[in-house]
Amino acid sequence: MMPYYWTPTTQQQMTPPPVTLPSGRPPGREESYIENILRLNRGKPATFHFSFEHAVEQGKNTKTVRGVVEAAGRDHVIIRELKSNHRFLFPMIYFDFAEYDEEMAYFNQNP
C-alpha cells in the first residue's frame, strides 16, 4: 500500500550532482549577456525600445518606455516608467535596444 503522506522511510536521500564550470572561464566572472548588462545598470535612467511581431492595431508593433530597470532575468526585464511609476514586465525576446543618459557600467574587459 502506498502511503499518502511523507515519512522519512519512504523518501530516498538524494545528493546533488557536482557543479562544474565551463572550461576557459574564470570562476565568478560574469558573462556579457544582455540581462547581466541591464542588471549592472539597474536604476540608471534610459529609454528602452521593444518591438512585437504581432500588433493589436496596424502600425502599433513597437513600444518605447522611458524608465529604469528594476530587475532583469534570463528571459524578462522589469522596467519602472519614470513619469508614472508604472511597471512593465517585458519578455526579452521583444527587447531591441536601450539608450542611457549617462555612462553605462560594463564588465572588466581585461583577461
4-62 pLDDT, tens digit each = 555 555 555 566 666 665 555 555 666 779 999 999 999 999 999 999 988 777 778 99
* DSSP H helical ranges for the chain: 34-40
Domain assignment present for 63: yes
Range of the domain at 59: 32-98
Domain assignment present for 26: no
List Cβ neighbours of 80 (8 Å cut-off, separation of 6 or more). Answer: 67, 68, 70, 86, 87, 88
Domain assignment present for 71: yes
Domain assignment present for 69: yes
Positive/negative CA dihedral, 80, 45, 96, 53? positive
Number of domains in the chain: 1
Residue type, 65: V
Domain assignment present for 54: yes
Q: What are 104's three cell numbers?
A: 553605462
What's this model's pTM, rounded to 2 decimal places?
0.70
Do residues 103 and 41 touch, judged by C-beta distance below 8 A? Answer: no
Domain assignment present for 5: no
The 10s digit of each residue's pLDDT in 55-95 is 777 778 999 999 999 999 999 999 999 999 999 999 999 99
Domain assignment present for 61: yes
